[in-house]
Amino acid sequence: MLPELSSFVPIPLLRGASAAAHEAGYMTDVVGLEGGEARRARSVVSLLEAQQTDGVLSLVPLADMNKDPEAERRPVVVLGEYDDNMHSQGQLADGRPAEQILRHLADQGHRRFLHVAGSQEWASARNRRSVYVAAIERLGLESFGVVDGDWSMRSGYDSARDLPADSGVTAVLAANDYVAMGVIRGFQDRGWRVPEDVSVFGWDDEEFTRYFSPSMSTVHINKEEVGRQAMLSLLALLRARPDRRRASKICSASCHAIRAGRLPARSHRQAALRSRLSP
């Protein structure tokens, strides 16, 4: 189940859910539902009562169906990874890998950073930003600041073009891979080398990053596994006796992994930039 008017469809998550369903002999349909949590919950009940579906996996919140005395007979799993606007929340919005990235970069000799954030309407952007700010202080590092972006390549490009040559920044943490790609292009257009002069870290491990030059460092989130585990929870409900079924809300743990390329910091880097490169 998705909001009817959503322009965003989480393909990897749906692919994982569909694969698990097909392995168990079930077919899947993607359905868009109008209205808020309560209205969507009523629509789900209607679908199940009409026996149009065996079970429901909702990617968006539903009203508490367990308050309904008949809920125990309804195999419903709510995966709390997106809100009504399909903005990621829950484990998909986990910002903790930002600290792992900073630790990794600090181990490579980096000390001064810039973060190009995503739209603050998204929990994922807010969480990555807050973890970045807290980790900078906790690890004794320096930050040139946070640029409020909008997830786009353009916001990354502009941030790179506007960064003063004498900022002392040797590494940039971008909100996602598209922002990171914009940052890299912005630096390249100034004559800055990536990663020799400045390192850039993305987020999401989009497929294009595997073919991008220079190789992009990024955070991998196993969204297919999130969808698969959610569907397995629904299948478990379907296999249970009707009197043991209960509408379930889960928040599957997504799998984060850091994929880092060559990111060394050199002590002479900023001196070389100031003498060799234009702002």
What are the sequence ranges of the domains in the chain?
Answer: 2-86+222-254, 93-217+260-276
**201 - beta bridge partners?**
173, 217
Same fold, 2-86+222-254 and 93-217+260-276: yes
Higher pLDDT, 2 or 22: 22
Q: Which of 8-17, 66-75, 156-165, 201-210 has the lowest mean pLDDT?
A: 66-75
**Sign of the alpha-carbon dihedral angle for 118, 119, 124, 127:** positive
CATH code, residues 93-217+260-276: 3.40.50.2300
pLDDT single digits (tens) 222-249? 878 888 988 998 899 888 755 444 444 4
Domain 2-86+222-254 CATH assignment equals 3.40.50.2300: yes
**Contact status, residue 170 vs residue 195, Cβ threshold 8 Å:** no
3-state secondary structure 137-162: HHCCCEEEEEEECCCCHHHHHHHHHH
pLDDT single digits (tens) 31-73? 877 667 677 777 777 777 777 788 888 876 676 655 555 555 6
Convert 107-139 to b/e letters by CB count within 10 Å (16 or more is b): ebebbbbbbbbbbeebbbbbbbbebbeebbeee
Q: Report which of 36, 21, 9 is spatially closest to residue 228, judged by C-alpha positions.
A: 21
